[in-house]
A and B are shown apart, each in its own frame.
Chain A
């Protein structure tokens, strides 16, 4: 999981029916349908034309060849760049050009494709690749469109791209990328959706044009351009009556097809777990080393010194009672310091108040030690699992340390709560703002701690403040049995 920088004003909202974005979205959807139709139909049309149309030797058009090469070469370059991961918004749209050229050629030049006499199969293969890449681009647009429409982003279902480090040459990299592209089931579901979307679009367009033709034949309206009014009125009525629900249902269908499949979700989950597990093991080992070092250099060394001092005092006991007494005082001070160090160490491993009282009181106790005015509200019906509680505590501890160290704040608001299966802690300060997880290692550490529990940290910190840090960890609360009098 990653740290997100969020702006309070910039949340994801589902469209409303009045929203102008809904209309623009419908237009975009139609555009995608047309694009999909061209991308998908072209190779099929080309192959069919090649197979079914009678050949006429010697009537190959030079101009047609030129046209094909002219449109194919730049598109191939852009397409390769796109497949290689250098995505530009427009590059996907350009992928529709070669198929468009092929289609135009089939239609315009006596239904004959370029190179028909020599077998246009050579064109069909690159066009199929184009179809795949183009479908993914279209599906990507659709994901964004319906993500905005539903108010819930549709996650990208693709497998992670192959690491470029393993391939040596450009050729190998291209092959690796092509393999990644073609073997991912999500790619083929994209193609399916594009076909579906274009099919639905085509049926709709056909239905409307049929309606117009029908009206013309039966002279329902004498004024011909007026005929257009009928489907427009029907369309508008349908839009206002059912349009919204239809669009949403279509969005849900799209999310089902284009979103990650169960398998892809599991694959992504495994990836995430492997990463966080490695991070957790690393930080656990580092923590053990730190504790070992602290004990070794701290309390253990002090106890050795204590023993030596007591030994010296014992030897001086007879000869010089005064010196022995001062050594004993020294020994006592040394033991106090050892105790202080052990106490600090214990607080760093697992704060007693957290063990005794749970997260709410532990965070409250933490806040009471801040040199700031605090406003604390916290309520948890039951206690979260111990490990999670500890991770949340240290995350909050780091956030509060940041507030005192960097924010120059005078007040801090802390909220601890649990809603919708999420443990949520919000720390707000009136400091100078400008906190950026990318700059400090502290926030990165918080992020890592939380990631092991699928938790996320969101920070909103405009320059000039205020800073709002929100951490959320999914968890179910379980009650811990405690005795009462």
Chain B
């Protein structure tokens, strides 16, 4: 799998490169700025882009804007955005008009290499990876929603993991239950929230996120 990294801190850029190479990925380019990222992506589109929100020269949300611009230039380009902090606002902007291939994670998540690479693969495969913190805040924001309040605690747990972008198999493994039990919970959630059921993992994730974002 071919990856382009945009990260301005040398230590992190180097660490990410080594982590990804250790997991058998090819780092095509590791750049420092948004403009360099755009140049690298348009020259030869990779399988996935890994980008930090804050990049020089402005050190604001340059990386995020570069990511959105890259997706405009190369439609459907999978992008995983890393950040020192997460905001629902940015998650919404990334998800707007996207049908997958979007990830938004806290930088802390790179400490768990296996999980992180798993998320990156998911995004590269057209899936979604939302940070648990984004999702927990999204669920808090929906605290007044009576349909969600009516879910059982386990169902809410499944809803949260689903919104993070995890597949049924991953949810089953995480909650130590069978995949069939997960499927049952998912069906129940979709019924209660009046969502169109689907067998496709990614469609389900996007439907749930769209529902939570109201």
Which chain B residues in 85-117 approach chain A with CB under 8 Å?
85, 87-90, 92, 108, 111
Shortest Cβ distance from A481 into B: residue: B58
Q: Is the CB of B169 closer than 8 A to any CB of chain A?
A: no
In the complex, A361 Cα to B61 Cα: how many Å? 12
For residue B84, CB closer than 8 A to chain A, the reply is: yes
> Contact at B111–A357, with CB atoms within 8 Å?
no
Contact B108 A339 (CB under 8 A): yes
Whether B88 pairs with A483 at a CB distance below 8 angstroms is no
B141:A485 contact, CB within 8 angstroms: no
- B62 CB, nearest partner CB in chain A, Å: 7
A320-350 CB mask vs B (1 if < 8 Å, else 0) is: 0000000000001001100110010011000
- A104 on the interface (CB 8 Å rule)? no
| Beta-carbon contacts under 8 Å, B136-158 to A | 137, 140-144
- Give the number of residue pairs across the A-B interface with Cβ within 8 Å: 64
Q: Is the CB of A353 within 8 A of B108?
A: no
Among A335, A368, A370, contact of B89 (Cβ-Cβ < 8 Å): A368
Encode A336-380 as 1/0 by CB contact (under 8 A) with B. Answer: 100110010011000011011100010011001111110000000
Contact A483 to B85, CB < 8 A, known contacts A368-B141, A369-B137, A371-B143: no
Say if the beta carbon of A410 comes within 8 Å of chain B.
yes
- Residues on B with C-beta less than 8 A from A373 are 144, 214
Q: Output the nearest chain B residue to A411 by Cβ-Cβ distance.
A: B144
Query: What's the Cα separation between A19 and B108 when bound, in Å?
Result: 68
A482 interface residue (CB < 8 Å to B)? yes
Which residue of B has the minimal Cβ distance to A365? Answer: B89
Q: How many residues of B contact A (CB 8 A)?
A: 29
Within 8 Å CB of B66, what residues of A?
Answer: 485
Determine which residue in A340, A353, A373 has the highest number of CB atoms from chain B within 10 A of its CB, and name it.
Answer: A353
Q: Could you mark each residue 27-65 of chain B with 1 if its beta carbon is under 8 Å from any beta carbon of chain A, else 0? A: 000000011001000000000000001100110111001
Partner of B141, one of A335, A357, A370: A370
On chain B, the residues within 8 Å of A352 by CB distance are 54, 84-85, 87
B14 within 8 A of A: no
Q: Are A365 and B57 in contact (CB under 8 A)?
A: no
Q: Note all chain B residues with C-beta closer than 8 A to A347.
A: 85
Interface assignment of B118: CB less than 8 Å from any CB of chain A: no
B201 within 8 A of A: no
Q: Which residues of B contact A332 (CB under 8 A)?
A: 111
Q: Which residues of A contact B85 (CB under 8 A)?
A: 343, 346-347, 352-353
Binary per-residue interface labels of chain B (161-193) against chain A in the complex, 1 for a CB within 8 Å, 0 otherwise: 000000000000000000000000000000000
User: CB < 8 Å: which of A339, A340, A369, A482 contacts B140?
Assistant: A369
Contact of A371 among B60, B111, B144, B214 (CB under 8 A): B144
Q: Which residues of A contact B141 (CB under 8 A)?
A: 368-372
Q: How far is the CB of B69 from chain A (nearest CB, A)?
A: 5
State the majority secondary structure of interface residues on B. Answer: helix
Interface residues of A in 468-485 (CB under 8 A from B): 482-485
Bound CA span A373–B87, Å: 17
Report the separation of the CA atoms of residues A364 and B58 in the bound assembly, to the nearest whole angstrom: 22
Q: Are B69 and A410 in touch, CB under 8 angstroms? A: no
Residues of A within 8 A of B69 (CB): 485
Q: Which A residues touch B142, using CB under 8 A?
A: 371
Cα–Cα, bound, A373→B213 (Å): 11
Contacts of B108 in A (CB 8 A): 336, 339-340
Given known A-B contacts A356-B61, A483-B58, A368 and B88 have beta carbons under 8 A apart: yes
A68 CB to nearest chain B CB (Å): 76
Q: How far is the CA of A471 from the CA of B72 in the complex (A)?
A: 39
Please, which residues of chain A bring their CB within 8 A of the CB of B144?
371-373, 410
Complex contact A485–B111 (CB within 8 A): no
Interface centre among A339, A347, A410 (most CB of B within 10 A): A339
A residues in contact with B57, CB < 8 Å: 483
Residues of A within 8 A of B35 (CB): 485
Find chain A residues with CB under 8 A from B62 CB: 483
Taking the closest CB of chain B, its distance from the CB of A484, in whole angstroms, is: 8
Query: Do B89 and A485 touch (CB < 8 A)?
Result: no
B89 & A361 in contact (Cβ 8 Å cutoff): yes
Residues 111 to 142 of chain B near chain A (Cβ within 8 Å): 111, 137, 140-142
Which residue on chain B has the smallest CB distance to residue A361? B89
Chain B residue, CB-CB nearest to A347 = B85
A467 to B54, CA, bound (A): 38
Determine the chain A residues whose CB is within 8 A of the CB of B53 once the complex forms.
Answer: 356
* Cβ distance A465 to chain B, nearest Cβ, rounded Å: 16
**Smallest CB-CB separation from B65: which chain A residue?**
A485
For B38, B53, B58, B92, the residue with the greatest tally of chain A CB atoms inside 10 Å of its CB is B58
Q: Do B84 and A355 touch (CB < 8 A)?
A: no
Question: Separation in Å of the A219 CB from the closest CB of chain B?
Answer: 86
Question: Whole-angstrom distance between the alpha carbons of A230 and B60 in the complex?
Answer: 78
With a cutoff of 8 Å between Cβ atoms, the chain A residues found around residue B89 in the complex are 353, 357, 361, 364-365, 368
Task: Assess the A485–B137 pair: CB atoms within 8 A.
Answer: no
A369 to B134, CA, bound (A): 9
Decide if B84 touches A369 in the complex (CB within 8 Å). no
B193 to chain A, nearest CB (A): 16
A276 to B6 Cα, complex, angstroms: 45
Closest approach, in angstroms, between the C-beta of B134 and any C-beta of chain A? Answer: 10
On chain B, the residues within 8 Å of A353 by CB distance are 85, 87, 89-90
Task: Using A368-B87, A368-B141 as known contacts, list a sample of 12 further A-B pairs with CB atoms less than 8 Å apart, ordered by residue number in A.
Answer: A343-B85, A347-B85, A352-B87, A357-B60, A365-B87, A368-B88, A369-B140, A483-B57, A483-B58, A485-B34, A485-B38, A485-B66
What are the 5 closest A-B residue pairs judged by CB atoms, nearest first?
A: A371-B143, A356-B60, A365-B89, A368-B88, A356-B61
Offer 22 A-B interface pairs, CB within 8 angstroms, sorted by A: A336-B111, A339-B108, A353-B87, A353-B89, A355-B60, A356-B54, A357-B61, A361-B89, A365-B88, A368-B87, A368-B89, A368-B141, A369-B137, A369-B140, A371-B141, A372-B141, A373-B214, A482-B58, A482-B60, A483-B58, A485-B34, A485-B35
List A residues at the B interface (Cβ < 8 Å): 332, 335-336, 339-340, 343, 346-347, 352-353, 355-357, 361, 364-365, 368-373, 410, 482-485
